[in-house]
Amino acid sequence: MNPHSLQTRNFKIFSSSFPSSPKRKKSVPPQSPPTTEATPSLPAQSVNAPVFVPKSSTPILSAATPSVQSVESPASGSNLTSPSRSNVHTGWTNPAEYDEGEDPFDPFSNYQYGNGYENGVDSVTQRLQTLGANGYDDPHGQHPFLPSEYPSPSIDYYQSASTFIPQPLNYHLYSNPIPEAFTHNYFISDAIREELQKRSETIHTAPVPGLGLPEELQGYHTLVPLEATAGDRRKLGNWYSSVYRAVNSTDGVTYALRRVEGYRLMNPAAFGPVEAWSRLKHPNVVQVREAFTSQAFNDNSLVVVYDYHPNAETLFNLHLKPKPPTLQNGRLQQSRDGSLVPERTLWSYIVQLASAIQAIHDAGLVVRVMDSTKILVTSKNRVRISSCCLIDILTYDARQSQDISLMQQEDLAYFGKLVFELCCGQVNAMANLAKALQTIDKNYSQDVKNVAMYLVKPSPHKSIRQLLDTMGSRVLLEMRETQNAVDRLEAELMSELENGRLVRLLTKMGFINERPEFGRSHRWSETGDRYIIKLFRDHVFHQVDENLDPVVNLTHVLTCLNKLDVGSDERMMLMARDEQSCLVVSYKDVKTCIESAYSELAKKPSVR
Ligand SMILES: Nc1ncnc2c1ncn2[C@@H]1O[C@H](COP(=O)(O)OP(=O)(O)OP(=O)(O)O)[C@@H](O)[C@H]1O
Residue-by-residue DSSP string for 508-539:
HHHHHSS-GGGTTSTTTSTTSTHHHHHHHHHH
Residue owning the nearest CA to atom 15 of ligand 1: 243
Does the C-beta of 228 come closer than 6 Å to ligand 1? Answer: no
DSSP state of 240: E
How far apart are the CA of 374 and the centre of ligand 1, in A?
7
Q: Which of 76, 220, 243 to mutate to test the pocket of ligand 1 (most atoms within 8 A of CB)?
A: 243
Asked if residue 173 belongs to a domain, the reply is no
Residue 313 Cα: closest atom of ligand 1: 31
- 434 and 524 in a single domain? The answer is no
Q: Is 417's pLDDT higher than 90? A: yes
Report the CATH number that the domain containing residue 594 is assigned in CATH: 1.10.287.3700
Would you state the pLDDT for residue 283? 96
Residue 374 Cα: closest atom of ligand 1: 17
Q: Is 166 helix (H, G, I), strand (E, B) or coil?
A: coil
Between 530 and 158, residue with greater pLDDT = 530
- 461 and 506 in a single domain? The answer is no
Does the C-beta of 226 come closer than 6 Å to ligand 1? Answer: yes
Would you state the pLDDT for residue 96? 34
Which of these three, 412, 439, 470, is where a domain ends?
470
- 310 and 413 in a single domain? The answer is yes
- 360 and 466 in a single domain? The answer is yes
Does the C-beta of 243 come closer than 6 Å to ligand 1? Answer: yes
Residue 310 Cα: closest atom of ligand 1: 4
Mind listing the pLDDT tens digit for each residue in 319-364?
998 877 777 777 776 665 556 899 999 999 999 999 999 999 999 9
417-152-247-392 Cα dihedral, nearest 10 degrees: -40
Of 116-130, 135-149, 280-294, minimum mean pLDDT range = 116-130
Residue 317 Cα: closest atom of ligand 1: 21
How large is the greatest C-alpha to C-alpha distance in the chain, in angstroms?
103
Q: Cβ distance 543 to 556 under 8 Å? A: yes
The domain of 144 spans 74-166+205-326+336-470
Asked if residue 180 belongs to a domain, the reply is no
Would you state the pLDDT for residue 520? 66
- 359 and 275 in a single domain? The answer is yes
Asked if residue 176 belongs to a domain, the reply is no
- State the pLDDT confidence band at 396, using cuts at 50, 70 and 90: confident
The residue type found at 159 is Q
Does the C-beta of 285 come closer than 6 Å to ligand 1? Answer: no
User: Looking at the 3D structure of the chain, how many domains does it have?
Assistant: 2
Between 366 and 340, residue with greater pLDDT = 366
Q: How far apart are CA 606 and CA 608, in angstroms?
A: 6
- 466 and 500 in a single domain? The answer is no
- 409 and 460 in a single domain? The answer is yes
Mind listing the pLDDT tens digit for each residue in 478-492?
999 999 999 999 888
How far apart are the CA of 321 and the centre of ligand 1, in A?
14
Q: How far apart are CA 499 and CA 249, in angstroms?
A: 32
Q: Is 168's pLDDT higher than 80? A: no
Question: What proportion of the chain, given as a percentage, has pLDDT over 70?
Answer: 64
- 421 and 524 in a single domain? The answer is no
Q: Cβ distance 237 to 145 under 8 Å? A: yes
Asked if residue 576 belongs to a domain, the reply is yes
How far apart are the CA of 229 and the centre of ligand 1, in A?
12
Q: How far apart are CA 596 and CA 136, in angstroms?
A: 75
Asked if residue 192 belongs to a domain, the reply is no
Would you state the pLDDT for residue 179? 53
Does the C-beta of 81 come closer than 6 Å to ligand 1? Answer: yes
Asked if residue 347 belongs to a domain, the reply is yes
Report the CATH number that the domain containing residue 425 is assigned in CATH: 1.10.510.10
Is the backbone peptide bond immediately before 177 cis, with ω within 30 degrees of 0?
A: yes
Distances in Å between the Cα of 294 and the Cα atoms of 273, 275, 276 are: 19, 19, 22
Residue 242 Cα: closest atom of ligand 1: 18
Quote the mean pLDDT of the chain: 73
- 16 and 129 in a single domain? The answer is no
Would you state the pLDDT for residue 569? 94
Which of these three, 438, 470, 502, is where a domain ends?
470
Q: Is 273's pLDDT higher than 50? A: yes
Q: How far apart are CA 369 and CA 411, in angstroms?
A: 8
Mind listing the pLDDT tens digit for each residue in 29-85?
333 333 333 333 333 333 333 333 333 333 333 333 333 333 333 333 333 333 333
The residue type found at 308 is Y
ipTM: 0.96
Distances in Å between the Cα of 26 and the Cα atoms of 143, 206, 581 are: 74, 50, 13
Would you state the pLDDT for residue 184? 53
Question: What proportion of the chain, given as a percentage, has pLDDT over 90?
Answer: 40
Asked if residue 307 belongs to a domain, the reply is yes
Would you state the pLDDT for residue 216? 93
Residue (of 233, 284, 222) closest to 257 by Cα position: 222
- 144 and 227 in a single domain? The answer is yes
Q: Give me the mean pLDDT over the 256-281 stretch.
A: 92
- 296 and 342 in a single domain? The answer is yes
Asked if residue 480 belongs to a domain, the reply is no
Q: How far apart are CA 585 and CA 574, in angstroms?
A: 7
* Kind plus residue range of the DSSP H or E element containing 353: helix 343-362
Q: How far apart are CA 515 and CA 524, in angstroms?
A: 8
Which of these three, 470, 504, 523, is where a domain ends?
470
- State the pLDDT confidence band at 227, using cuts at 50, 70 and 90: confident
- 139 and 261 in a single domain? The answer is yes
